[in-house]
Structure 1
């Protein structure tokens, strides 16, 4: 079996060690000859990379490893670019969350004004990495799960229409694992075959069956109606904010009991609830939680490995969500024809929806990329919500391309999370000030 060469773009991310461990865990089905890290923050990357260097030398010495800030070195001789960059890091995420809250609107990483701000920062970074890949390894695939995926996917569709990029998100995968737990399926989500449609962080399951074709929806619906996606309310491994999100799915489901919702829909259908809930601690948002816990934990674990000179009994943990990116790379490498949810141009897959929209739907993945599975027509409720949200995403990309203040104001005004054009303008003016170092200049 062919051994692949991979560059992880975002080498200094706290998620990178989990991806490395996941790649090692599945090396029997997706063998690797080389792993490279690339980041534009040399100091941050070095802390993670030096620890991973020790880990790889101990657990997989046959895999060549290097890390660099030089694009030519990073992107030459690679088969896959796994991109999960965060332009502006957690310091900017904190602003994305706190600025809207000053105006009575919740702040969230990928939804509403915070997601729009993050999107305006991410577009340039993802395009830059894509261009490096196409310059130095034109036959490689970029597997992109940099957020906010919907805005990034729309930008790459429009600005790099012929590029070999596949945009993915692991959130539906995480929810499907919970569904599999509810059903007590022996092999987890891989025992299910799903039909799902929507936009990224904005979708619905309309059919779930086992491999024999039996309908699993009624059993999952019965659970979600009572408990949302909470499997064990006393599970100490699930952070309180996530447990709340899983519980709130019960109320999201109640709005349309014909389907099962993505948890992120709570931000669009219950923004008042989210704001009140978050506003109990306006100075301590999710970004602060992450910086205090995950950020500290991962960098401390990395330092511990380097200080001891060994990764034996280290505190790095395999990132189970990262298994999805391994599945995708394996499907391409082995021409597996695997069924996976991808973010792709609609082009009629959803019959009664904008053909240019970047939708999240099941696709069959093989060596030449993907083939879309037709969804047919979707109900008016979902169609209406999606048309509003896809317009927000398109206006953000318009604003980035044209440096247009007007378009970005329109995007914020159209977002279901923002109550009026005047609030949208006030938030926008504050976001422009905070993002001077990252956004194109708006006029």
Structure 2
């Protein structure tokens, strides 16, 4: 077995990093990490310093021989790395605030992975992921990249569609939360085997069956959710509205919380507009939570991950990433729910799509679960629509063309008018221009238009 693992975390100043480090400490016996590097950018240096000090205290308390490093030089960190985790936000939370508030100001849902907000987060993120891949190919070509930067599905699609890099897996906390919910409501004991048939796209997944010790328990789970006795919302950053009983029973599937944006678009928009006019979008809340977290992290006597971290919407991302890394390193062939290319395994969608579904993970990465060969026909219309949006966004991120942004925006089912799409694309492109170097010419053309109007 390989020893002296080196892991690099890009976005090391993230508030989630203590959870990641806690995960590595818990798994030290199976993941013998020698070096852990925290990488960030100049604007994130202050947070990186606070996180580094806290994580150093956590490692010292645990008594594990992990050497922690911090740097603003990504290439220095990547030399001979075994695993690279990516958890960054281009433009930080101020950019997210624009992703949410600009669409809401036009009367549209503002959300960081769907619609106009998700599109522009993808436009900012995909080129940076590609730059990281280029560095990895030069400095640690055998390393695996475990990505939990959103929009994870869109990013994974872009990587496998536009690069030749294969050692890439997208991780999301939504399936993890769904699994924890199922364990709780079915009272599954730790020694019992739980297997979940989950399929779809990132933030667009459905559960079609649940097995405990090989026996299906799906009917009682579905009845509980459909009747309203059980709330299946496992995500902190989405309002907890129940799906209608008719929808759940007619689908005969358990949808993830993000499907509220499609099945309850009117209600979700009304709630978000109310929150927006009362004082801001979700990003405003998250910034307050982050400030409280970093005030806690600064305390010199804190040497564990604080429970308050779970108030952030992405709790358990990091734990899921640790499990994936361990499965690859130890060739575990264990069950996970991640984003990866199915390569023709699913018989009723295109073979080149990246999907999010149940898989087994080992030394060679993710393999689709043999029980899942077919996506439920009832879901295919929505899945095809969102995949078209993801593909168009990845094309726009590379081309830097305004019309490609327009196409992607018009393909989103959350945008209801082509005229509104033009206004949204224009406003958001100008608002984010300093973070979108690929769009320099497009921005210049928009400004030129302004001078002639």
Q: Same fold (TM over 0.5)?
A: yes
Cα distance in 1, alignment partners of residues 423 and 350 from structure 2: 31
User: What whole-Å deviation, never above 9, does each CA across 1:162-216 have from its counterpart, x for those lacking one?
Assistant: 342112212111111111111111129x7321112111111111121112x2111
Equivalent residue, structure 2, for 1:108? 111
Change (3 A) 1:329 1:238: closer
2:181 to 178, 183, 190: 178
| SS of the residue 1:17 aligns to | helix
Alpha-carbon shift at residue 77 of structure 1 (Å): 2.8
Q: Give the 4+ runs in structure 1 shifted more than 6 A.
A: 312-316
2:331 to 335, 341, 358: 335
Equivalent residue, structure 2, for 1:362? 358
Aligned length in residues: 430
Residues 281-300 of structure 1: pairs in structure 2 closer than 5 A: 281-282=275-276, 283-293=279-289, 295-300=290-295
Cα distance in 2, alignment partners of residues 252 and 106 from structure 1: 24
Cα distance in 1, alignment partners of residues 77 and 332 from structure 2: 28
Equivalent residue, structure 1, for 2:261? 267
Change (3 A) 1:408 1:251: farther
**Residues 3 and 30 in structure 1, CA contact (< 8 A), matched pair in contact too:** no
Equivalent residue, structure 2, for 1:197? 199
Cα distance in 1, alignment partners of residues 405 and 229 from structure 2: 34
Alpha-carbon shift at residue 435 of structure 1 (Å): 0.9
Equivalent residue, structure 2, for 1:125? 128
**Residues 176 and 316 in structure 2, CA contact (< 8 A), matched pair in contact too:** no
Alpha-carbon shift at residue 141 of structure 1 (Å): 0.7
**Residues 159 and 165 in structure 2, CA contact (< 8 A), matched pair in contact too:** no
**Residues 357 and 368 in structure 2, CA contact (< 8 A), matched pair in contact too:** yes
Alpha-carbon shift at residue 27 of structure 1 (Å): 2.0
Cα distance in 2, alignment partners of residues 377 and 5 from structure 1: 38
Alpha-carbon shift at residue 161 of structure 1 (Å): 2.2
Equivalent residue, structure 1, for 2:142? 139
Residues 317-332 of structure 1: pairs in structure 2 closer than 5 A: 320-332=316-328
Change (3 A) 1:157 1:70: same
Residues 23-422 of structure 1: pairs in structure 2 closer than 5 A: 23-40=24-41, 41-187=44-190, 191-211=193-213, 213-227=214-228, 230=231, 242=238, 244-245=239-240, 247-250=241-244, 253-254=247-248, 256-282=250-276, 283-293=279-289, 295-305=290-300, 311=303, 320-374=316-370, 375-422=372-419
User: What whole-Å deviation, never above 9, does each CA across 1:362-420 have from its counterpart, x for those lacking one?
Assistant: 22211122222353333333111111110011111111121221121111111111111
Alpha-carbon shift at residue 426 of structure 1 (Å): 1.3
Cα distance in 2, alignment partners of residues 57 and 89 from structure 1: 30
Cα distance in 2, alignment partners of residues 355 and 412 from structure 1: 24
The farther-off stretch of 58-67 and 387-396 is: 58-67
Change (3 A) 1:312 1:277: closer
**Residues 293 and 309 in structure 2, CA contact (< 8 A), matched pair in contact too:** no
Cα distance in 1, alignment partners of residues 208 and 305 from structure 2: 43
Does residue 427 of structure 1 match 2:427?
no
**Residues 252 and 266 in structure 1, CA contact (< 8 A), matched pair in contact too:** no
TM superposition score normalised by structure 2: 0.89
Alpha-carbon shift at residue 224 of structure 1 (Å): 0.8
User: What whole-Å deviation, never above 9, does each CA across 1:127-179 have from its counterpart, x for those lacking one?
Assistant: 22222222211111111111001111111112222342112212111111111
Cα distance in 1, alignment partners of residues 256 and 307 from structure 2: 31
**Residues 145 and 168 in structure 1, CA contact (< 8 A), matched pair in contact too:** yes
The farther-off stretch of 129-138 and 170-179 is: 129-138
Change (3 A) 1:312 1:223: closer
| SS of the residue 2:345 aligns to | coil
Unaligned runs of 5+ in 1: none
Cα distance in 1, alignment partners of residues 261 and 246 from structure 2: 10
**Residues 6 and 79 in structure 1, CA contact (< 8 A), matched pair in contact too:** yes
Unaligned runs of 5+ in 2: 443-453
Change (3 A) 1:62 1:199: same
Change (3 A) 1:253 1:53: farther
TM superposition score normalised by structure 1: 0.91
User: What whole-Å deviation, never above 9, does each CA across 1:247-271 have from its counterpart, x for those lacking one?
Assistant: 4345695374311111111112221
Cα distance in 2, alignment partners of residues 301 and 11 from structure 1: 17
